[in-house]
Structure 1
């Protein structure tokens, strides 16, 4: 169940090319990253944020906890004057702020094998890359990795964030289950850290077999829970029934699933050649 949060104060705004989110404090002084709609018709980007967070849980990929946020009345009067986006809706997408974090690319400003040994699960970036192909993430790429690296128990943990531009950046009713439009060159595996990890792994037939098993188990897990996933999205951002059917066909198309896995293998082989 996605919890509701009331936001009481602003810490700072992050200027980005996308949603320019805010770091805020809720009534318990917990840090929340908050995203308003970018336009009056931008509901789908926040629907995708909630949907992908729940899908990532089924894949056992770390992502910050998400919340349904509203703004305290006193704060709303001030912030909606400074940023008109807060007038576009009554509720906003929020997620937990990850402490002890830094951008993944900063880790490899001192590249080498020592950082790789400090990953809690070095193959997590492979799983994230595979997930990105499956949901056709247009916004996680070598130049904009949308991954946070957190230090937990003296190990690096990766958190996947920012999923507004997934599902090929299309409306749900425009999705096709007949082909894959993911751009190979935009894979996170072509980042400096991705290349280093791929080249460090002992990739053989057994490794590929285990990865494929993981992939199909994740798909089955989503398939078994997809209705609950849709129902767990806050009602304010609920996905229409006809769009749910389109998403199901898109995610579970056997043709797409096979192409997704083959695309990942192509990227890995291209990096290792």
Structure 2
């Protein structure tokens, strides 16, 4: 499992105002542009831990997601700049002694998934080179209880590589694991995603299922894929957790509870059942 780099912020470009964390757009000392979130003054820094954990899990699932790094921001150097931004999210001491998590800017011609509301034809959809990743992202989100990817807020980018090539990226995983303290997770919770709270309910996903669902033994493929990826994630889970800096305050109880939640056999059967329930009306 590849370790996460740690860099310094050289400049702040802007604040991206959202209903979540309103990340800052910054330039780091590797001359790359990142969107960064801080710990918000609360430890353990579960939101930042979730970003790192899900980035590692997504890499095992081979689902494209922006590279993440740890970024140190000297609040004294940017004191006047920070005063211009939301006080709720960007108090100077939120950056003191604890790194932020940065997500690399996906460059090029980028649109959000929800702008593809009415695919004109299968040929248009077919330009998405990793279109199977739509259902894989939906399955992943059920597994990790992602509360923040849905038709109204897909947190999924489509990158236009060329006229006939598009690529899907999953991003923003702060609100996973039920958005609660890991120590409070329990596999008996089962699966709690509410109706329409998943990328599987986007028009694009529905269209994809209509077009290729009957072309292969889809259920067997999904079950085999899920079980294989979950097992690899289990094997490498400690390596993923090793990327979380000690400053984030994650303890052994948190880690144990999260492990038991993600790799509980009955809960993962429920994950698959939930997935097939989601798509049964249009698959």
Interval containing the TM-score (normalised by the shorter chain): over 0.9
1:3 aligns with 2:5: yes
Give the Cα–Cα distance (whole angstroms) in 2 for the partners of residues 167 and 151 of structure 1: 31
Greater helix share, structure number: 1
Question: In the alignment, what sits opposite 1:33?
Answer: 35
Question: In the alignment, what sits opposite 2:170?
Answer: 160
Question: What are structure 1's unaligned runs of at least 5 residues?
Answer: none
Moved more, 139-148 or 86-95: 86-95
Give the 3 Å change call, closer, same or farther, for CA 67–80 of structure 1 in structure 2: same
CA contact (8 A) 1:40 1:89 kept: no
Q: TM-score, normalised by structure 1?
A: 0.92
Give the Cα–Cα distance (whole angstroms) in 2 for the partners of residues 40 and 81 of structure 1: 20
1:98 aligns with 2:106: yes
Matched length: 272
1:89 Cα shift? 3.6
1:120 aligns with 2:122: no
Question: In the alignment, what sits opposite 2:269?
Answer: 258
1:248 Cα shift? 0.8
Give the Cα–Cα distance (whole angstroms) in 1 for the partners of residues 211 and 40 of structure 2: 41
CA contact (8 A) 1:14 1:20 kept: yes
Return structure 1 stretches of 4+ with deviation > 6 angstroms.
Answer: none
1:88 Cα shift? 1.9
SS at match of 2:10: strand
RMSD: 1.9
1:42 Cα shift? 7.2
1:176 Cα shift? 1.4
Question: In the alignment, what sits opposite 2:139?
Answer: 130
Question: In the alignment, what sits opposite 1:62?
Answer: 64
Question: In the alignment, what sits opposite 2:196?
Answer: 185
Offset from partner CA, 1:141-164 (integer Å, 9 cap, x none): 110000011123552111111111
Moved more, 149-158 or 60-69: 149-158
Q: TM-score, normalised by structure 2?
A: 0.89
1:238 Cα shift? 5.3
